[in-house]
Amino acid sequence: MSRLVAEIPAPTGAEPVRAGRRRRGRQERLAYLILLPALGTVFVIVTIPFVIAVFQSISSDDGTLIGLRNYGRALSNPLLYEALRATGIYALIVLPAEILLGLAFALLVHRTVRRPGLRATLYVLAVLPLVVPPVAVGVVARLIYAPGYGVLNYLLQSAGITHSEIQWLGVPILAMGSVATVDIWQWTPFVYLVLFAGLQTVPRESVEAAQVDGATWWTQFIYIELHYLWPLFLLILFFRTADVLRVFDHVFILTGGGPGTTTQLLSLYMYRLEFKYFDAGQAAALAVVVLVSISVLYALVTRALPLERA
């Protein structure tokens, strides 16, 4: 916009000023018109629900304003801390696993695969898990882990590795591991794609110079490539953390939060508050707390990122 302003010749009289205003008015109207569908959509599906959620969080069922009482109830509910604990454990499993595996795949492909056709094929294969609906992933995972007819137990027993069924979804530690593997399968490719793209930005001259100086595989990664990947790690960490807070579908299908509350993650807990307990106030308060937490995290990440600022 500033460049556009600079290119407009300075007005020399009343008529050119009016003409300039008219032109500017037309341009503004066009800009608003183009923005209108996007802004309207955001307003309807984001702004209105958010305002309603904030209102619900400070009001009782009959609409009476009750201040922060719902927040107090939400934060003093012991079930919240069970859900936070489960979410924390889940995050501690999936985030390092996805980042390390994604990085390993990215480095492997970057350094060993040179043929463009093969790279493109790997790219398509990596995109596939990302576009499968989480519900479908959950259903397939249930066929793998389910007691009685699960494919995994069948294969393990057929191969003679185990002699009785392993209760993948019935033993707390295995249940958490099982739901985590589904997440790892679906989202490791995302980390791979982002980091692989990051590796393409590393200047070839720097790498070649390092190699001439005798840099090993490891030192090349630590002193050159990691420098370029660092902002992407932060970005991945932010996106994946935000995703972990809203994981729902495959956990709901696989374990329903069980056994007990072992895999009742935060999103599942909020769903239960809203649709089982019909405690809209407490659920809305929790939703606002989560949203604010993610916003704070976002602010921290963007500050840490070496982005160019206008």
Partner 1 sequence: MQRITRREFVKRTAVTSAAFTSLPAILAACGTSTGPSNKPSKLVIAAVKGNEDAPLKKVAPKYKSETGITMEIVEFPYDQLFEKLVTTFQANGSSYDLCMMDDPWMPKFGTMGALQPLDSNFGFTRDSDIPTVVYDVGTWPPPHGPVPPSEKGKTQHLYGITIVGNVEMFMYRKDKSDAPKSWDDVLTNAAKYNAANFYGYVIRGKATNPVSSDSLPILWSFGGNIFDDNWKVQLDTPASIDAVTFLTRSLKKYAEPGAENTDAADRSRLMAIGQAYQSTVWPGEITDIVEDPSVSQVKGKVAYIPIPQGKSGKGLGMMGNWLLGIPKGSKNGSAAADFIKWMLKTDNMRNYVANGGIPIRKSILTDASLTAANPYFPALAQSFDAVPNWRPRTDQWNAVETSYGTAMNAAVAGQMSPQAAMQKAAGEIRTLMKNANYPS
Judged by the rule CB under 8 A, the positions of this chain that interact with partner 1 are 1, 4-5, 8, 20-21, 23-24, 27-28, 32, 35-36, 39-40, 42-44, 73, 79, 146-148, 164-165, 167, 169-172, 255-262, 264, 272, 275-279
Angstrom distance (rounded) from CA 170 to CA 306: 45
Closest to partner 1 by CB, 186 or 255: 255
Angstrom distance (rounded) from CA 252 to CA 130: 19
Closest to partner 1 by CB, 53 or 234: 53
Length of the chain: 310
Closest to partner 1 by CB, 218 or 278: 278
Contact 261, 79 (CB under 8 A): yes
Closest approach, Cβ 255 to partner 1, in A, equals: 7
Closest approach, Cβ 173 to partner 1, in A, equals: 11
Contact 249, 257 (CB under 8 A): no
Closest to partner 1 by CB, 104 or 174: 174
Q: How far is CA 277 from CA 149, 270, 282, in A?
A: 33, 10, 10
Q: How far is CA 75 from CA 200, 282, 287, in A?
A: 45, 9, 12
Question: What does the block give as tokens for 178?
Answer: 């099982």
Angstrom distance (rounded) from CA 140 to CA 253: 10
Q: How many CA atoms does the CB half-sphere of 40 hold within 13 Å? A: 6
Closest approach, Cβ 163 to partner 1, in A, equals: 12
Closest approach, Cβ 175 to partner 1, in A, equals: 9
Closest approach, Cβ 294 to partner 1, in A, equals: 22
Closest to partner 1 by CB, 79 or 234: 79
